[in-house]
Amino acid sequence: MKAIRLDGHGRVKAFRLNDKCAAGSGAFLEKTMRYLGYQPADIVSLSAAAGDPAAISSVCAVFAESEVINHLSAGRNAEDICAGAVIALAERAGQVFKRVKPEPEYALSGGLTRVPLMRQVLESSLKCTIQEALDSPIRPRSPDSFYFQGIAGELSAHRA
């Protein structure tokens, strides 16, 4: 998870990334989905179907995985566990974003932008509206969207 604040010319003013553990990354969600017996592509539908998201509070991926296993052992359903993992990740992302002292407008990019619950939790945490990503489920992903971040980084480096 990365948070970047740009100035009016698109230059990086502040940059932070999750530096504590994999529990603050998409890899944690992928592993959670494997434990649940689902694919990462199922995150949107599972998290949307949750009735009572499971609490996953650990900042450490190993301990968070233990929490997921404990929830499974206790009989919690996959939807609630998935939603709990998304919420935990979004809350960690919100902490990273706050460290760059964000200024409106906000946008997300990357695979997790397609998870509406992720965006809802971040909007609540940051008390703002986050722009819809170009590769959201509402707009089909362009094959070129994978290159967006690389091109943006290259342009920033070229301007410097």
pLDDT digits (tens, 9 = 90+) for 105-123: 777 766 776 789 988 998 8
What pLDDT does 91 receive? 85
DSSP state of 127: T
CA dihedral (111, 116, 117, 122) positive or negative: positive
pLDDT for residue 159 = 53
pTM, to two decimals = 0.76
pLDDT digit string, tens, across residues 45-102: 999 999 999 999 866 667 778 898 999 999 999 999 999 999 988 888 888 888 888 7
Beta carbons of 29 and 19 less than 8 angstroms apart: no
* DSSP one-letter string for 76-116: --HHHHHHHHHHHHHHHHHHHHHTT---S-EE--SGGGG-H
* Residue 123: strand pairing partners: none
DSSP letter (8 states) at residue 146: G
pLDDT band of 137, cuts 50, 70, 90: very low
Instruction: Count CB-CB contacts under 10 A for residue 143.
Output: 6
pLDDT reading at 6 higher than 90: no
- Residue type for position 74: A
Torsion of CA 62, 63, 69, 72, to 10 degrees: -140
